[in-house]
Amino acid sequence: MQELEKLYTEIQPKIFAFFYIKVQDQSLAEELTQDVFYQAVKGFHLFSGNSTLKTWIFSIAHNRLKTYYRSKKYARFLNKKMTNETEPRSFTPEELYIQKEEHRQFQTFLEQLRPSLKEIVILRLYGELTFREIGGLVNQSENYVRLAFHRAKIKLKKEMRGNDE
């Protein structure tokens, strides 16, 4: 259990980032992150050691996100998000516009990737998982994940550069 507590400080921001990029809402990402660690503490006795603790926790996060997407709460959240978008107040209007536009463009290009490739990119960039850990989560070899990420990165860079010209 001490290992889990020690890992919490390292992995909590990564789990939060994973959820935030998926749901685009800070309070919801925090809530989902808390759920994951609650489930991890509650089910720690079930951890078999077949993977790293970090990978195990990300698999809990991945499953929690699937459950959330299937829930009615997700539909209500999407409706609320579409009707009442709130903006952070610490940026100038110009900075906020540029940041939102860049994020929107990246999200658009990310959404164009096939779902399995998109998952690899999100786990690598926002979850900061190793290729081996991602491979374990998506049931692929480490080399497959490494190559898929590399190709996706090239494609995303090309799309982002092409949009600037």
Give the DSSP letter string of the chain. Answer: -HHHHHHHHHHHHHHHHHHHHHH--HHHHHHHHHHHHHHHHHTGGG--SSS-HHHHHHHHHHHHHHHHHHSHHHHHHHHHHHH-----SSS-HHHHHHHHHHHHHHHHHHHHS-HHHHHHHHHHHTS---HHHHHHHHT--HHHHHHHHHHHHHHHHHHHHHHH-
Q: Look up the domain containing 50 and give its range.
A: 1-86
pLDDT tens figures, 104-162: 777 788 888 898 898 898 888 877 788 988 998 899 999 999 999 998 888 888 887 77
pLDDT exceeds cutoff 50 at 40:
yes
Tell me what pLDDT residue 156 has. 81
Predicted local confidence at residue 16, as pLDDT: 92
Which of 71, 86, 101 delimits the end of a domain?
86
Q: Are residues 2 and 80 in the same domain?
A: yes
- The verdict on 80 and 151 lying in the same domain is no
pLDDT (mean) for 67-76: 71
Q: Are residues 21 and 58 in the same domain?
A: yes
Give the contacts of 109 (CB within 8 A, at least 6 positions apart).
Answer: 155, 156, 159, 160
Q: Is the pLDDT of residue 89 over 60?
A: no
Checking if the pLDDT of 33 tops 90, the result is yes
Q: How confident is the model at residue 32 (pLDDT cuts 50, 70, 90)?
A: very high
Q: What is the per-residue pLDDT for 44?
A: 85
86, 114, 130 - which closes a domain: 86
pLDDT band at 35 (very low <50, low <70, confident <90, very high): very high
Regarding whether 102 and 66 lie in a shared domain, the answer is no
For residues 62 and 118, state if they share a domain: no
State the pLDDT at residue 69.
79
> 50 and 65, same structural domain?
yes
- Choose between 150 and 100: higher pLDDT: 150
Same domain membership, residue 79 and residue 4: yes
Q: Do both 25 and 71 map to the same domain?
A: yes
Domain closes at, from 39, 57, 86 = 86
Is residue 28 scored above 60 in pLDDT?
A: yes
CATH number of the structural domain spanning residue 3: 1.10.1740.10
Q: Which residue has the higher pLDDT, 102 or 31?
A: 31
**Whether 16 and 52 share a structural domain:** yes
Total domains in the chain come to 2
